[in-house]
Amino acid sequence: MPDRPPRKTAALRLIAPLLGAAALAGLAAWALWPKPEPVDLAAVTLAPMEVTVEAEGVTRVRDPYLVTAPLTGAALRMPVQVGDPVTRGQTVVAVISPAEPAFLDARARAAAEAAVTEAQAALRLAEVNLSHAQADLDYAEAELRRNLALSDRGIIASRTLEAATQARDTAAAALQAARSELDLNRATLARMQAQLVAPAPAGPDAGPGDCCVQITAPHSGRVLTVADPSARLVQAGEPLLTIGDLQDLEIEVDLLSADAVKVAAGALAHIERWGGPDPLRAQVRRIEPAAFTRVSALGIEEQRVRLKLDILSPPEAREGLGDGYRVFVRVVIWSSPQALQVPQGALFRHEGGWAVFRETNGRAVLVPVTIGQIQADRAEVLAGLSEGDRVVAYPGNRITDGARIAPRPVGP
């Protein structure tokens, strides 16, 4: 009888190939089994949401004061510079002296000297006429006195007395006319002599306010612009400088007309990229009713609408912000304190609507969704998803309904 150990050995020899074949089949099945597709998953969240329109804006002083020259004259060098603080009614911001007469060429001087000579001759003639009128009046008064004496004695007729009285009155009127003519010719001579006055340098002891008009600040604030700091000749009404209060700023924004119709007066806005660490709060105060055309950098004509915004943040929160500074403005056109949101990268078009791939037990499930407001990289979900759901972000063409998926490993 053969021994038992040889029978076990034979059995093992039969089972070993079967086990090896099963192992190879398992390895082949494992190798050929489809692996889960690595994807990026994003959560559906319930959080505050805002929809905004964005544009660049410029800060402006709300009520700038333009100081102009009240008269034509020579403006002295500006006593203030850009950025200097000024006080209403106290700080002298400009000094204007009367303009010096212009130099005369040879022809103009000869004509002016001839006019002076002519005026002097007319003055002498007026003086002679005055003396003649005075003599006529003296004679008429003496003749009247004689006729009065004769009339009292009844020697002359009353008609003769009346004629003497009329002659005296006529002589008195002629004297008055001669005096007026003399005054007229004196004034004419002074006017002609004034044409010969040449520019004269100011005396060494003349102060900046001597014979000058000093203009004080019309409002307290800071000097924003100076037209020209140098001394020069200015005309009446010419701008000299601008004064404004940097504590009272507003923001001017030009929006596309298609965006402006979505904005209502009183809408809130966020001011960013102004240079400070935190955004500023603002509110739309005015929306101009008329649009204007502006050509973009690409040469496209755009219809723009100008908006004025009040800055709500206190002045200490915007230190350093001045007039004409560039800022970035986001005007809120819709907001919700709690909105169900999904990343826009998870949305794709499906049968004329929107859909997402929701992760369910390791598989991608196609779910149609209803979308409300859209802002930046987020979209409001009205139906189809719940808070806490995880959706596939940026699904590729390998992701289909029911496909196995796995979260993509995060790099080190």
Clarify whether residues 78 and 224 are in a common domain: yes
**Average model confidence (pLDDT) across the chain:** 87
Cα maximum dimension of the chain: 213
Clarify whether residues 81 and 123 are in a common domain: no
**CB 60, CB 309: distance < 8 Å:** no
φ, ψ dihedrals at 360, nearest 5°: -135, 110
Instruction: Specify if 208 maps to a domain.
Output: no
Clarify whether residues 224 and 279 are in a common domain: no
Clarify whether residues 53 and 134 are in a common domain: no
**Closest CA relative to residue 98, chosen from 206, 217, 259, 222:** 206
Residues 350-367: pLDDT tens digits? 999 999 999 999 899 999
Mean of pLDDT values over 378-396: 93
Residues 180-209: pLDDT tens digits? 999 999 999 999 888 887 766 544 454 444
φ, ψ dihedrals at 277, nearest 5°: -75, -30
Domain range spanning residue 144?
106-194
Clarify whether residues 53 and 80 are in a common domain: no
Clarify whether residues 54 and 76 are in a common domain: no
Clarify whether residues 331 and 376 are in a common domain: yes
Residues 81-111: pLDDT tens digits? 999 999 999 999 999 988 777 777 888 888 8
Residues 229-274: pLDDT tens digits? 999 999 999 999 999 999 999 999 999 999 999 999 999 999 999 9
Clarify whether residues 183 and 321 are in a common domain: no
Clarify whether residues 144 and 180 are in a common domain: yes
Q: Is the pTM of this model over 0.85?
A: no
Instruction: Specify if 213 maps to a domain.
Output: no
Clarify whether residues 90 and 137 are in a common domain: no
HSE value, Cβ hemisphere, 13 Å, CA-based, for 326: 2
Q: What is the pLDDT of residue 208?
A: 45
Tell me the CATH number at 401.
Answer: 2.40.30.170
Tokens of 189: 């001579």
What contacts 115, CB < 8 A, 6 or more positions away? 192, 195
Our count of domains for the chain comes to: 3
Residues 291-339: pLDDT tens digits? 999 998 889 999 999 999 999 999 999 999 999 999 999 999 999 999 9
C-alpha span between 100 and 50 (Å, rounded) = 66
pLDDT score of 68 more than 70: yes
**CB 80, CB 373: distance < 8 Å:** no
Distances in whole angstroms, Cα of residue 307 to Cα of each of 8, 41, 237, 267, 274:
97, 41, 31, 11, 18
